[in-house]
Chain A
Amino acid sequence: MKVKPDRTLDCLGLFCPEPVYRTRLELDIMRVGDILEVTADDPAAEMDIQSLVKRLGQEVISVTKKGNKVVFLIRKVK
């Protein structure tokens, strides 16, 4: 079943630490239960974003690679 995000964040062309910083800003303004879709093409982002979400106690729903892009679906759980 395809999950529909409540917010999207385009980090294409941005490099560490920008994707992490901007993801954190989005999470700060989201409501609990909201889903964020983040797209990035920095090779570091695949691990960086997952590490951030884990440390913040939020949920990674999925990580999908599309060519050189990575798309994350993240749920704010607290």
Chain B
Amino acid sequence: MQGRSEEAMSERKKLALIVHSGTMDRLYCAFILGSTATAMGMEVHVYFTFWGLAALVKGGFEKAGLPATYKHMEAQMKKKLAEMKYPSLVEMLRRMKTSGLLKIYACSPSMEMFGIKREDLIPEVDQIAGATAFLDVASDAQVTLLV
């Protein structure tokens, strides 16, 4: 997908997304919004924190399931998604990265709290950052969401 078209970076609309959740349903919500935004030519900045950061490790998205309250529905939901030929979380991440319009930030204190090192994270992470850096990015965003 062509990311950097004739539209200057400064003219692009921007989506700032905080991913606090690490369950499959909420990660899907975030990635559907993010991958649609990149398809629309928006810059997408995603800050993974708490459970979202815990899922940002290698293999994390593949293992994401439903929260305890809905755990009994997980197998059926995964089966239905496969029947729908629905893109996986990993595929949606690939789409966003291929666009050239995605930046991923990993929350530094969450990394420390969970004992996660940089090398444990997926290689697509652009930056380890704190709240200030993210708020600076989000200050210029037209759309800011927390999932």
Chain A: residues with CB nearer than 8 A to chain B?
13-18, 20-21, 24-25, 28, 48, 51-52, 55-56, 78
Contacts and interface: CB of A to CB of B under 8 A. Distances in A.
23 contacts: A14-B85, A15-B84, A15-B86, A16-B32, A16-B36, A17-B36, A17-B87, A18-B87, A20-B36, A20-B39, A20-B40, A21-B35, A21-B36, A21-B87, A21-B95, A24-B39, A28-B1, A28-B2, A51-B40, A52-B39, A52-B40, A56-B41, A78-B6
Interface of B: 1-2, 6, 13, 32, 35-36, 39-42, 84-87, 95
Contacts of B36: 16-17, 20-21, 48
A56 B95 CA distance: 17
A55 B142 CA distance: 14
Contacts of A24: 1, 39-40
Given A17-B35, A21-B35, A56-B40, 5 more contacts: A15-B86, A16-B32, A17-B39, A18-B87, A20-B39
Contacts of B42: 55
Contacts, number: 38
B39 A21 contact: yes
Contact of A55 (B41, B84, B95): B41
Contacts of A52: 39-40
Nearest to B31: A17
A66 to B, nearest CB: 22
A39 B146 CA distance: 33
A68 B72 CA distance: 33
B95 to A, nearest CB: 7
A62 to B, nearest CB: 21
B101 to A, nearest CB: 12
Contacts of A48: 36
Closest 5 CB pairs of A and B: A24-B39, A55-B40, A17-B36, A28-B2, A21-B39
Contacts of A18: 86-87
